[in-house]
Amino acid sequence: MKHNRVRPAGAVSIQAVCADGPRLTLQDASSPPHRLHMSPSETPALFTAKVEPGGQQFDAWANQSLLLSAEQGGLNWPSSCRNGTCRTCISQLDRGAVRYEIEWPGLSAEEKAEGYVLPCVAYPCSDLTLRLV
């Protein structure tokens, strides 16, 4: 698979993304969400996302959803509502951390604790591995 690098508009640094507030990891999935404060003059942080099974990879920009980054990277990720309610895009985080900008994405606290994420509303805070479910 081709590994595209597409720089999105509206830049932000990872320090601004993940140092200012809690992020959701497999260890602290019950953490409350926080709002992202972006400065347009900062360069966005870029992470590598890997998809299992298959090992496909795509560039995951800190300032855009994992779903959008996956699509820009050439993946045909299942999606519908694109706002965290339908769960069509649900996957499991095997490695790494994400954050949400909405109060309560369509996941239970138990699902979050088990590493389930909704890529349409999840933003990366690190390199990560997603598992299709």
- Please report whether residue 87 would count as binding ligand FES according to CB under 6 A: yes
Verify binding: residue 120, ligand FES, rule CB under 6 A: yes
Residues 47, 131, 116, 12, Cα dihedral to 10°? 10
Number of residues forming the site for ligand FES (CB under 6 A): 13
Residue 80 binds ligand FES, judged by CB under 6 A: yes
CB of 42 vs ligand FES, minimal distance in Å? 27
Look at residue 18 and give its three-state secondary structure.
helix
Q: Does 92 bind ligand FES (CB under 6 A)?
A: no
∠ Cα 31 95 16 (to 5°): 55
**Cβ atoms within 10 Å, residue 34:** 15
Q: Is residue 82 part of the contact set for ligand FES (CB under 6 A)?
A: yes
The burial class, CB within 10 Å (0-12 / 13-18 / 19+), for 94 is middle
Which window, 34-42, 48-56, 76-84, 123-131, contacts ligand FES (CB under 6 A)? 76-84
> Does residue 81 belong to the site contacting ligand FES (CB under 6 A)?
yes
Binding residue for ligand FES, selected from 31, 56, 57, 79, defined by CB under 6 A: 79
Residue 60 β-bridge partners = 47
Binding site for ligand FES (CB under 6 A): 79-82, 84-89, 106, 118, 120
